Amino acid sequence: MPSVIIRVVNRSANSLPEYATSGASGMDVRADLSSTVVLMPMERKLIPTGLFMEIPEGFEVQVRPRSGLAIKQGLTCLNTPGTIDSDYRGEVKVILVNLSGEVQEVHPGDRIAQLIVQKVERAEWSKVEELNATVRNEGGFGHTGKQ
């Protein structure tokens, strides 16, 4: 039994996103294309899915890359994870980029990304003059060194 129901309009010929295995966190989403899209090396394009969602308040849907597409073709998603907010009602589109040195093709119905449903917590800022100290304090990028 799902923990959240998301209403969806599917204007594509593809099936709805689905979990590939019982342990999968993400649902594969497919390209809604009338013809093949060519991506040159380092080129990015917005790929439609034909999906429109009504995500319940308190949730988001994240768009993430598919590992197989990344390792096999060098295609990945930009703005990752992309967030689909609960009040967005437009078509879900995926920003794909070709990080390989070869021309890549995206065909109609190809699995192009995965969708992950996440609960969202809302925060409130509390403005203060100073923060509590920690062992790390201001140690940032690479502060622990190489070992």
For 15-62, the pLDDT digits (tens) are 999 999 999 999 999 999 999 999 999 999 999 999 999 999 999 999
Instruction: Evaluate whether 42 touches 99 at the Cβ level (below 8 Å).
Output: yes
* Total number of domains constituting the chain: 1
Region 92-115 average pLDDT: 98
Q: Which residues pair with 84 in a beta bridge?
A: 61
pLDDT at residue 124, rounded to an integer = 96
Q: What is the largest CA-CA distance in the chain?
A: 57
Q: Report the distance separating Cα 60 and Cα 116, nearest Å.
A: 8
pLDDT at 139 over 90: no
In a domain, 133, yes or no: no
In a domain, 2, yes or no: no
Mean pLDDT (the chain, rounded): 94
CB-based contacts of 53, cutoff 8 Å, min separation 6: 6, 7, 8, 9, 61, 84, 88, 89, 92
* CATH code for the domain in which residue 47 is found: 2.70.40.10
